[in-house]
Structure 1
Amino acid sequence: MSIHELNRAKLQERLQGLTSRLDAIETGLETNTQREWPANRASRVGDEFLVCVSQEAEDLAAVVGALQRFDSGTYGQCMLCGETISAARLEKAPTATLCKGCAMSVAGTRALGEEMRMDIYEKKADLIARINAAGEDRHEMLPELQSLVSELESHGNTVSANLKYMLAELEDEAREAEMDNFPI
């Protein structure tokens, strides 16, 4: 029996197990009502339950996806580069969709994204502290704040209402300073 045939058998067994577990959870929900749980535990139990069901559903989707790739003849091919995923990788992770190289690249990109986000937030904290300490001349930091807001938005981060408010304040203060320096 080839590694692919073994993996297919493992995946079909896993599919049956996940389906049975999710069916049991559904049946349990139908027979147990929230009234039967002690009030102080209901929230915690509910949160733990949601995490469990969510993980089970993710596993189920991965297994179904792998079985569909078997049916379409693409099982064992990297979804990014099209190269063959190693047998060792598929033996350890039968639902793998990426070869080792692409998986490492994707993980590195995520880590880089997190590192960039942390750098931006450190800049933001530093700039806000300097603006708050600047006193009357804080409007001179407006271009730096505008640049930070643009950087946040370009990386897909939401600009907080507080930061937008500070930006509007500095814009107003810059206009007022410009008006004060306007010769009459």
Structure 2
Amino acid sequence: MSSWNAQLARLFLEQRKALEAFVARRTGNRQVAADLTQEAFLRLARLPGGERIDNLRAFLFTVAGNLVRDHQRQAMRREQVEVELPEHEPACDQPDGLARLATEQEERLLHEAIMALPDVRRRIFLLYHVDGLAYREIAEREGVTARSVEYHLRQALVDCRAFLRGRLAGGPNP
């Protein structure tokens, strides 16, 4: 076994459980944590053996952190699409008056849900989803950490979903 493979095997035995726990804390899902941990080790194993990495453990945890962020971005995009897209598309390209009215009402509800968010959360949500800024850029603008940005984005989706459910269930109209 080459020294690179031996290093990887030793790192796997020593760090797998710690890395999986690290990922599980960030995702809240043990199965996702197991999958992302495996992917982190695979990405490390795919590196050419000749590359010099001073601290393999730190590098591995950085790779895992990046995978978690990618996973969470994808999850938020899926949730955003679920919230934004109507369940039933119109049968034709030219929606009739009723379909147009329904679309306008959906857009109004989404706008109200976003406007009901607390100020900081709404700004972070709009900077990410409308302006397309990265977590780090938003964190610098808002004077918070990137982790706080991640929390606010996740919570904004939860808040918007709860707002929409309340309205669709016959909650109060402003």
Same fold, TM exceeding 0.5?
no
TM-score by length of 1: 0.27
The structure that has the greater radius of gyration is 1
